[in-house]
Amino acid sequence: EPEVTQTPSHQVTQMGQEVILRCVPISNHLYFYWYRQILGQKVEFLVSFYNNEISEKSEIFDDQFSVERPDGSNFTLKIRSTKLEDSAMYFCASSRDSRTGLRQYFGPGTRLTVT
């Protein structure tokens, strides 16, 4: 089965530092997502991305966050100035297109620890 990959698996950073989380979606997928999961809590939507622009974002996705598709394969999430409360698992997901209800394939996640 095709897989979404994410790097790094674990990122430790100091408060105030910038981090970039990287994802390689499934190759023929067009719709990309970032979700986060604070330890022990539910998975929360951050942002969706389609056709080189943000399609939808949640209230969590403030000015400190940005996403980019720098080339034909990578999809990145940047946090400009990390806060302690940004510590979480960050999952990238992709789907074939933008139709509501298409299965989303989740990557293994990046565990971000902000100290």
Could you list the residues that contact another protein (CB under 8 A)? 31, 33, 35, 41-45, 48, 55-56, 58, 89, 91, 95, 98-109
Return the number of the residue (81 or 98) whose C-beta is nearest another protein.
98
Least distance (Å) between residue 41 CB and another protein: 8
Minimal distance in Å, beta carbon 42 to another protein?
5
Comparing CB distances to another protein, the nearer of 14 and 100 is 100
Assess whether the previous peptide bond of 8 is cis (omega < 30° from 0).
yes
Q: How far is the CB of 43 from another protein (least distance, A)?
A: 4
3-state secondary structure the chain: CCCCEEECCEEEECCCCCEEEEEECCCCCCEEEEEEECCCCCEEEEEEEECCEEEEECCCCCCCEEEECCCCCCEEEEECCCCHHHCEEEEEEEECCCCCCCCCEECCCEEEEEC
Of 12 and 43, the one with the shorter C-beta distance to another protein is 43
Closest contact distance (angstroms) between CB of 103 and another protein is 5
